[in-house]
Amino acid sequence: MYKIKGSIWIEGGDGAFIGIGRIKLLEKIGEFGSITVAAKSMKMSYRHAWELINSMNKQAKRPLVETTAGGVGGGGTRVTPEGEKAIKIYKDLQKRFHLFNEKESKKIKL
Amino acid sequence: MYKIKGSIWIEGGDGAFIGIGRIKLLEKIGEFGSITVAAKSMKMSYRHAWELINSMNKQAKRPLVETTAGGVGGGGTRVTPEGEKAIKIYKDLQKRFHLFNEKESKKIKL
């Protein structure tokens, strides 16, 4: 009858580091290879997307998103292996959090 | 280095049922015996406090807050035993959630 819900995020040295919105942004950058397109797909300003990426890159040991300039193939933005790892870590954490919530939901007698 | 944080709440038939703000309101009503004073102490309008109480009372099997009218001792508002139980259930849930977060924080390698 009652259901426990919640939200969960990871804080680093500067406060917010990784949460559900930032992970979605990383996934969209991986999908589109472009911050502009990723931000647009989330109805987010480029500036805000860039600030989120900057915040993540500064707080992680290595950047989660990398932008390469010009060259033969043109510039591009990619999610680094550390970025992929961050996505997996957050999603695994969320799975365990959902299990916690399900288990706790069954205990509530009110 | 990284720290997991989160928020957790209980949903009932109408959506939000019990969360950190509603529990604080119950505690303040218990402390002051008055919705007006409790709301004021949280810088909340009486109307909003009343809506939160109404939402909780409607979704619980028995009311969590009870108001009695006039009489020799004057009217009064009290947190019922079910209300006290709800406070305890939520606080215990939060304690387990904090333990979950601490344990998960130690696992993060980024």
Q: A6, B7: Cβ pair inside 8 Å? A: yes
- CB < 8 Å & 24+ apart, contacts of B68-72: none
Instruction: Please name the member of B9, B13, B109 whose beta carbon is closest to the beta carbon of A5.
Output: B9
- pLDDT tens per residue, range B9-60: 999 988 999 999 999 999 999 999 999 999 999 999 999 999 999 999 999 9
Q: Are A65 and A79 in contact (CB under 8 A)?
A: yes
Residue (of B63, B82, B55, B7) closest to A19 by Cα position: B7
The fold of the B16-103 domain, in CATH, is: Arc Repressor Mutant, subunit A (1.10.10)
Q: Indicate the pLDDT class of residue A51, thresholds 50, 70 and 90.
A: very high
Chain A residue numbers touching B82 (CB-CB < 8 A): 110
Q: A6, B3: Cβ pair inside 8 Å? A: no
Instruction: Please name the member of B2, B11, B60 whose beta carbon is closest to the beta carbon of A10.
Output: B2
List the structure tokens of B16: 């939000």
Q: A6, B96: Cβ pair inside 8 Å? A: no
Q: Which residues of A touch B (CB under 8 A)?
A: 1-13, 17, 60-61, 82, 85-86, 89, 93, 96-97, 100-101, 104, 108-110
Q: Does ipTM top 0.85? A: yes
The C-alpha atoms of residue A36 and residue B8 are separated, in whole angstroms, by: 33
* CATH architecture, domain A16-104: Orthogonal Bundle (1.10)
Q: Residue B68 to residues B16, B33, B81: CA-CA distances in angstroms?
A: 26, 11, 15
Chain A residue with the nearest C-alpha to that of B104: A93
Instruction: Tell me the Ramachandran region of residue A75: left when phi exceeds 0, alpha when psi lies from -120 to 50, beta otherwise.
Output: beta
Q: Tell me the whole-structure pTM to 2 decimals.
A: 0.89
- pLDDT tens per residue, range A10-36: 999 889 999 999 999 999 999 999 999
Mean pLDDT, chain A, whole residue set: 94
